[in-house]
Amino acid sequence: MDQSTNVALRKTPWNKGKLVGQKAPLKLKDIWAIRVRLQIGQRTRELALFNLAIDSKLRSYDLVKLRMRDVCHGSVVASRTIVMQQKTQRPVQFELTEQTRDSLAAWIRSSGIHSEDYLFQSRLHASPHLSTRQYARIVRSWIREIGLDVSAYGTHTMRRTKASLIYRRTKNLRVVQLLLGHTKLESTVRYLGIEVDDALEISEQTEVWRFDRFGRLAAHLFANRPGAAGGHPT
């Protein structure tokens, strides 16, 4: 095997030829299960990170690079903010809910960070802020704590969660596209897996209807079978 072949093999993407599924979003009950555990455990940093990840819908490398000034007006956590996305170089705006603002304010007070500081500084000297790998480990620990399959969830779970909830509630793709900062609507459709999810939902509803109809028919036949109480005499 010559040197050029070795180079080509090294450059082959790890996922080439493999079906790599999207990471599932969290359900409301999962969000609260994680949130309550972080609150009870007084894990101020993780609670702020979790709430901000859900609200911002940012990709992991944009999330970990947020500075205090990105989410604050002076020392007050803003209700809305705009962040420039690294991938698209386009701004995206998002809302910070009251519970997210409260958890961020608590983290900022306890950590003593300042306006130009990264919100989530790394505990390793090699990096000034939390790395995407460290963030991924934290997300896996949250998933594991509430008893979900770690392989089915990841950092993209945090980005997809609120977008999926909003779509389910409104069915408005354009709104979700704007919130995610996608340039094309088709990207939003693929990202949310809407066509697949909707097809499965319709299928489930159809199966329930068929079962209900069959159940009523079976009950009718059973009630009227020979020898049954109220049925035809033997």
The 3 state secondary structure assigned to 184-220 is CHHHHHHHHCHHHHHHHHHHHHHHHHHHHHHHHHHHH
Fold of the domain built from segment(s) 28-170: hpI Integrase; Chain A (1.10.443)
Task: Tell me the one-letter amino acid at 138.
Answer: I
Report how far apart the first and last C-alpha atoms of the chain are (Å, whole number). Answer: 84
Please answer whether residues 48 and 110 qualify as being in contact, where contact means their C-beta atoms are separated by less than 8 angstroms: no
The predicted model scores a pTM of 0.71
- Alpha-carbon gap, residue 123 to 129, rounded angstroms: 8
Q: What is the pLDDT of residue 207?
A: 47
Reading the chain (234 residues) residue by residue, the pLDDT tens digits are 455 445 444 555 544 444 356 788 899 999 999 999 999 999 999 999 999 999 998 999 999 999 999 999 988 999 999 999 888 788 888 999 999 999 999 999 999 999 999 999 987 766 789 999 999 999 999 999 999 999 999 998 998 888 888 888 887 888 877 878 877 777 777 777 765 555 455 445 544 444 445 455 545 555 555 555 544 443
Closest CA to 145 of 21, 44, 26, 53: 26
